[in-house]
C-alpha cells in the first residue's frame, strides 16, 4: 500500500510547514481550458479516498472535492484558455497555469510538490514527482480539485455548444467528438493547434 504522506512527512521533518500540492487537468483535450489547482492540506486529518482523480468515480470525486474545499488550509484554481494554449503551446500553458495557481494562494507555501516532471518558475523550493497524484496526498488533492472544476466548465460549455458532446467527452478527442468537428467545424473553445487536421 502506498504511503501517500511519505513526501509530506519528509518535508515536515525538515521544517517545512505549508506544503503545497499542484496538479493539472486537461492537457490532452481538443477543446476547453487547461486547469491547475494548488492546495495546502492539513496533514493531521486526511480525507479518505484522495487519489489520482482519473481513478475515482465521478460522484465520489465530487464529494471528495467538496471536502477538499472545506478542509484545505488554502486552495487556488486557475485556468488557461485555448487561445493562449494555441499561442504558447500546451506545455508552456500548463506551466503558466500551475505557476499562477501557486502564486494566487493567500498563504505562501514554503515547499511545492508538482505532478509530473515540470520545473516551475517559482522562488519557492519545489520537487516534481512522476505519478505524484497517486503517490502524494497533497498532489492527489490538487488533482481532484482541478478535475471537478474543469468538468464543471465542460458541462457549462456543453450547454453553449451542444453539437460536440462536451458534457460527456470533456473535450477529449473521442470518435464522436471528431465526427462532430468534421460536420460542424470547430467552435470558439476548440484548440486550433490541436484540431488542424479537421479544419
Would you call 100 helix, strand, or coil by DSSP? helix
Each residue's pLDDT tens digit, 54-75: 899 999 999 999 999 999 999 9
| Residue that is written with C-alpha cell 495546502 in the block | 40
CA distance 170 to 26: 9
pTM of structure: 0.95
CA distance 40 to 38: 7
What integer best gives the mean pLDDT of the chain?
95
CA distance 168 to 151: 9
Q: Tell me 28's DSSP state.
A: S
Each residue's pLDDT tens digit, 20-41: 999 999 999 999 999 999 999 9
Q: Write down all domains in the chain, each with its CATH number in brackets.
A: 6-150 (3.30.420.10)
pLDDT score for 1: 67
Percent of the chain predicted with pLDDT > 90: 89
CA distance 105 to 74: 7
Each residue's pLDDT tens digit, 86-139: 999 999 999 999 999 999 999 999 999 999 988 999 999 999 999 999 999 999
DSSP 123-171: SS-EEEETTHHHH-HHHHHHHHHHHHHHHHHHHHHHHHSGGG-HHHHTT
Beta bridge partners of 74: 40
Amino acid at each position: 500500500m502506498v504511503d501517500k504522506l511519505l513526501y509530506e512527512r519528509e518535508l515536515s521533518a525538515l521544517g517545512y510547514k505549508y506544503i503545497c500540492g499542484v496538479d493539472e487537468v486537461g492537457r490532452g483535450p481538443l477543446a476547453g481550458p487547461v486547469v491547475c489547482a494548488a492546495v495546502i492540506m492539513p496533514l493531521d486529518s486526511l480525507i479518505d479516498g484522495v487519489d489520482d482523480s482519473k481513478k475515482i468515480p465521478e460522484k465520489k470525486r465530487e464529494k471528495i472535492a467538496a471536502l477538499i474545499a472545506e478542509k484545505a488550509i488554502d486552495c487556488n484554481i486557475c485556468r488557461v484558455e485555448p487561445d493562449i494554449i494555441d499561442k504558447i503551446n500546451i506545455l508552456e500553458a500548463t506551466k503558466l497555469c500551475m505557476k499562477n495557481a501557486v502564486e494566487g494562494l493567500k498563504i505562501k507555501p514554503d515547499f511545492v510538490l508538482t505532478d509530473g516532471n515540470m520545473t516551475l518558475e517559482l522562488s519557492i523550493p519545489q520537487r516534481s514527482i512522476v505519478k505524484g497524484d497517486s503517490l502524494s496526498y497533497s498532489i492527489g488533492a490538487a488533482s481532484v480539485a482541478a478535475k471537478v472544476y474543469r468538468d464543471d466548465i465542460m458541462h457549462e460549455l456543453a450547454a453553449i455548444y451542444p453539437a460536440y458532446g462536451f458534457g460527456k467527452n470533456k473535450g477529449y478527442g473521442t470518435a464522436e467528438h471528431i465526427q462532430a468537428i468534421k460536420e460542424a467545424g470547430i467552435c470558439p473553445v476548440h484548440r486550433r493547434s490541436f484540431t488542424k487536421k479537421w479544419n
